[in-house]
Amino acid sequence: MNARFVVTIVVLTAAALGSWYLSRMYADTEIVEPLDNTVSDGFYLRTAQILGTDGDGNLLYEIEADYARQQENRDIELQNVRIRYSDNVQVPWTIDADRATITDEQDLLRLSGHVTAFSYEGFSGEITEIRASILDIDPKTYRAETDGSVQLRIGSRSLTATGMLALLQENRLELKSNVSGNFIP
């Protein structure tokens, strides 16, 4: 064995060890996906905006919230909610609530907390305000309903009732039971 052969073997061994070391150092890490494919954490958004459109893409309504979070059952919980209808659909109502839940089917909103519906062109053409602690609303059909207590102000008149159905686009309101009121001439 001559010196040249030994130097060649040492250099090749060093090159092999060096390339092995570098390949281990820069190797791609394997991505391991969890076996459980459920949506347990869901998503959350700050300053969320949901736009409802018709089949042609025209804006029908807008739902704004300070915070949105998907729950484990896939419902979406919103906080500090405002619903406004587009001028195109001629529904002059704005609805505010502390909280709202959008069901998994996404066709019904359950508003809760301090729920207020307000219109400058409300019933009888007067400023109208509806207050409730719970209100179910289908924004696509412009229908709002509750079985709970409701306070209604139309101009200077004030009514309370248990249960209500409001057809917002038609400007029609039905109080269900226990209606009492205060009418100032």
Please give the domain boundaries of the chain with CATH numbers for all domains: 45-182 (2.60.450.10)
pLDDT above 70 (res 179): yes
Those residues whose C-beta lies under 8 Å from the C-beta of residue 5, and which sit 6 or more positions away, are none
Q: Is 111 helix (H, G, I), strand (E, B) or coil?
A: strand
pLDDT in tens, 88-101: 888 888 999 999 99
Contact (CB, 8 A) for 111 and 135 = yes
Those residues whose C-beta lies under 8 Å from the C-beta of residue 135, and which sit 6 or more positions away, are 95, 97, 110, 111, 112, 115, 117, 144, 145, 146
pLDDT above 60 (res 31): no
Q: pLDDT band at 131, cuts 50/70/90?
A: very high
Query: Above pLDDT 70, what percent of the chain?
Result: 81
User: Can you give the pTM of this predicted structure?
Assistant: 0.71
Report the pLDDT value the prediction gives residue 39, as an integer from 0 to 100.
45
Q: Is the dihedral of CA 96, 98, 166, 85 positive or negative?
A: positive
Report the pLDDT value the prediction gives residue 88, as an integer from 0 to 100.
84
